[in-house]
Amino acid sequence: MTLAYIFLFFGGAIAIWRIWINIKRARDRPAHSWDERLIEKLRLEGSDPFQPHDVVFFFGLPSEKSAQLIVERLVREGYQAEYRQVREQVELAFSVHAQRSLRLSVPDMQATSRRFNELAAEFHGRYDGWAAASNRRIGD
């Protein structure tokens, strides 16, 4: 009977050690960014990230003036942009949508997201990310 307890003890120790190693690996692995997950989702849907996509970027701003200023800046950079009031929102009462046709690469989209986070913070707003429809060709 003692031999069975020894095997159980070592078997349990090995199982706990493997669980600990897997948890440590998961923690050490870099988290996938929102941009990376979105691009991967589009790829899985059959979209070609190397071909242009119509990408829409979203911002929430506290005032009409800040929304106007961001729209003006984005238009100068080649985006189509507009803003509108969101009556249900109190803090960020204005929504900005900016659109541009882009090729989707993870580093480029991460850089754009970082820049747009900084731009939104400059105007005391929030960058809410981006969306793009699949550019999959009909018949593929």
Domain borders along the chain are 1-30, 34-132
Contact 51, 122 (CB under 8 A): no
Is this model's pTM higher than 0.85 or not? Answer: no
Model pLDDT, residue 87: 86
Contact 94, 67 (CB under 8 A): yes
- Using CA atoms, how far residue 8 sits from 5, 13, 22, 48, 112, in Å, is 5, 8, 21, 52, 54
Please give the average per-residue pLDDT across 38-60, as a whole number: 90
Question: Which CATH number does 34-132 carry?
Answer: 3.30.70.970
Give percent of the chain with pLDDT exceeding 70. 80
